[in-house]
Amino acid sequence: MIEFHLETRSGVPTYLQIVQQVRQAVRLGVLRPGDQLPTVKDVVGTLTVNPNTVLKAYRDLDREGLVEGRRGVGTFVAEDVAPLPPGDVQDLRSGLEGWIARARGAGLDDDTMAALFMDTLRPPAIRSVA
Amino acid sequence: MSAISTQGLGKRYGSKWALRDCTIEVPEGSVTALVGPNGAGKTTLLQLAVGLTRPSAGDVTVLGLSPRDPALLARVGFVGQEHPLHRGFTVAETLKLGRKLNPGWDDALAHERVQRLDLPLDRTVGRLSGGQRAQVALTVAVAKRPELLLLDEPVASLDPLARREFLNSLMEAVSETGLTVILSSHIVAELERVCDHLVILAEARAELAGPIDEIVAGHRLLTGPRTEATAVARMHDVIRERHTERQTTLLVRANGHVYDADWELHEVDLEEIVLAYLGYGASRPLAEAVAR
C-alpha cells in the first residue's frame, strides 16, 4: 500500500499529483500488479482532500489501463501492467548514485544536476549548447 | 441537475447592492468554495439560497425548488457564521435537540462522529474550544442528512490545526454521504485541497465561476521585457498587469494556447489567481473583459 502526499504550491492540480504518484510507484515497482490503492475514504482522511478529486484521479488511471476499479471492493493495479524488474531498477539506481557522487565532487548543486539530466534526456536537436 | 442555480440574482439594502447580477450554477455533488473579501456578498448569496432573505432582482432555485419551499427544510442544511448553538446545552443535549427537530436525523452517524472526534458528551457547548464547537455544529448539520449543506465562513474563527481537522471531517462526511457542499471563505489557503468548484465574488459581483481544475489550467503568468499588454489583450483576458522598469508580468485567462514567443509562460496556483481577481497587486485595466 502506498500513501500519497501533496505539494499544495506546485500549481499541479491535486488529482494530477495523485495520478503521477501512482504512475511513478508502478514504474518503480513500488506498486505491483494486483496491489490495492488506498480507498477513497483513506485518501480523504489522510490528505484532507475532496473525495471527487480522488475519484477523478482513479477514473483517469482506470481509463489509461493502469488500474482497475472493482465495484464495492476497491481499486487495484491492473494485472497486465509490466513493472520494471526490481533488480534492473536497483542496478540503474546505484549507477545514478555513483554519477551523483561524481557530480557533487565536481561542485554541481542539485538544481544543476537536475537541469543537466533533463537536458541530456531531450532529443539532441533541441538540446542547449553546452 | 444543479444544486443551486441563480439567474441575474441581486439583493439591495437601501441604495446599496450587496449582490448584483449573479448568474451561477453549482453542480450537484460538488464542493464549491465561495471566496471573496468581507462584504463581497458571500453571506448574502447564502442567505438568499436558504430563503433567509428575498431577492431584489433575479431568481434562485435550490435543488430545483424555490428557496422558501417547505420541502427543502429537511433537504438543506445551513451553518451560519460563529456556529450558532445553544451554549448552555451539553453536547448530548444538542444532539437530542437535533433528533427532535429533524425528521431525517441519523442518530448513529451523529454519535459515531462525536466519538471519532473525541467530543465530550457531557460538556456544555459554551465550555468547548472553538474547534470543538465548530465540529458539533457540523455534526448536527450532517446528521440531518441533507442533500445540500451550506457553510458560512466555517473556518474563519479557527486556528490552523482546528481548521484542518474541521475540513477533514467535512470531507469525510462528503465521502460518506455524497452531499453537495457550498462553503464561503475569505481564507484561500487550503481551499484547493477540499473544493472542486469555485465562485469568486468581489464588490457584490461574481467575477469567475467554474471547476477549479479548469480555472487553474486556464490561467497563465506571462513574463517578458517591459511592454504594453495590448497585443496579448486582443487574444486573452488580462486579469492583472505589473510593470517594472524592464519587465512586464501579466496574469491572463488564456483563450486557447499562448503562442507569443515574446513571453515566458508560467503556471499559477489557485491562491495567486484568486488574489488577482480580487484586485491584489495591481490595477485591472480590462475588468470589463473578464468573462462572467
DSSP track, B206-254: EEEEEEHHHHHHTEEEEEEES--SHHHHHHSEEEEEEE-SSEEEEEEE-
* C-beta atoms of A11 and B167 within 8 A: no
CA distances, B91 to each of B74, B86, B247 (Å): 22, 10, 58
Selected residues 18-47 of chain A with any CB under 8 Å from a CB in chain B: 40-41, 44-45, 47
Q: Indicate the class that CATH gives domain A14-77.
A: mainly alpha
Compute the distance between CA of residue A66 and CA of residue A27 in angstroms, rounded to an integer. 10
Q: Is pLDDT at B231 greater than 70 in this prediction?
A: yes
* C-beta atoms of A41 and B172 within 8 A: yes
Q: In B23-65, where do the E strands start and end? A: 25-27, 31-35, 57-62
User: How much is the average pLDDT of B177-200?
Assistant: 89
* Spatial contact of B74 and B116, defined as CB atoms under 8 Å apart: no
pLDDT in tens, B54-85: 999 999 999 999 999 999 988 999 998 877 78
C-alpha cell at B181: 457542499
pLDDT in tens, B109-147: 999 999 999 999 999 999 999 999 999 999 999 999 999
C-alpha cell at B102: 429533524
* Nearest CA distance, B173 vs chain A (angstrom): 10
For residue B138, what pLDDT is reported?
Answer: 93
Shortest CA distance from A46: residue in chain B: B168
Compute the distance between CA of residue B143 and CA of residue B113 in angstroms, rounded to an integer. 9
Please report which confidence band the pLDDT of residue B291 belongs to, taking 50, 70 and 90 as the band edges: very low
- Tell whether A9 is within 8 A of chain B (Cβ): yes
Strands B219-225 and B205-211: unpaired
- Tell whether B231 is within 8 A of chain A (Cβ): no
Provide the whole-model pTM: 0.81
Collect all residues of chain B within an 8 Å Cβ-Cβ radius of residue A45.
168, 171-172
pLDDT in tens, B150-160: 999 998 888 88
Nearest by CB to residue A50, choosing from B164, B194, B216, is B194
Buried/exposed B244-254: b ≥16 CB within 10 Å, e otherwise: eeeebbbbbbb
Collect all residues of chain A within an 8 Å Cβ-Cβ radius of residue B174.
44, 50-51
Contacts of A43 (CB under 8 A, 6+ apart): A4, A18, A49, A54
